[in-house]
Structure 1
């Protein structure tokens, strides 16, 4: 399930970088994770009153938080994919449980 999701993020990311002339080298994946974590932190700070709301409503700030969380997850999956990390196996080993499989259709 995680690998399939990572593959979907890869398709989207590859199209985005190609359209914008961005080169993804080995460092790019880690640097993007850091960037996205910063954006998630900024969204959290706004939502919790620790940063400027910049005219955003509470609903918009919650949506921003969700969007930045999605970006962080996507870039984490891209990082794992680019480094050939089996996240499901790592989760099972580190967290001592098996990630749920996608429902069979």
Structure 2
């Protein structure tokens, strides 16, 4: 499941990079994860009263929070794929469940 999701993100990211002529070197993947976490944090700060709303409603911010969470997930999966990380195996090791079926080991 994670592998297929990662592959789908990879196809979308590759197409985006080609369209916008973005060179994705090895550092790009970790830097993008960091960037997306920063954007998610910025929205979180607004939602929790720690940042300026700039005319955005709570509904707008929740929508943006969802989008930034999806971005971060995508970039985590891209980073894992780029670095040959088997996330399913790592989840089993660290979290003690199989992500494909959600049951404890």
What residue number does 1:69 align with? 69
* Per-residue CA distance 1:53-87 (angstroms, 9 max, x = gap): 11111100000111000000000000000001000
What residue number does 1:96 align with? 96
What residue number does 1:11 align with? 11
Aligned pairs for 1:1-105 (under 5 A) are 1-101=1-101
Please list every run of at least 4 consecutive aligned residues from structure 1 whose deviation after the TM superposition is greater than 2 angstroms.
Answer: none
Partners of 1:32 and 1:59 in 2: how far apart? Answer: 26
Partners of 1:19 and 1:56 in 2: how far apart? Answer: 30
Partners of 1:89 and 1:49 in 2: how far apart? Answer: 38
Q: Where does structure 2 lack aligned partners over 5 or more consecutive residues?
A: none
* TM-score of the pair, normalised by structure 2: 0.94
Partners of 2:19 and 2:56 in 1: how far apart? Answer: 29
Q: How many residue pairs are counted as aligned between the two chains? A: 102
* TM-score of the pair, normalised by structure 1: 0.94
- Structure 1 position 100, deviation (Å): 2.9
Partners of 1:74 and 1:52 in 2: how far apart? Answer: 27
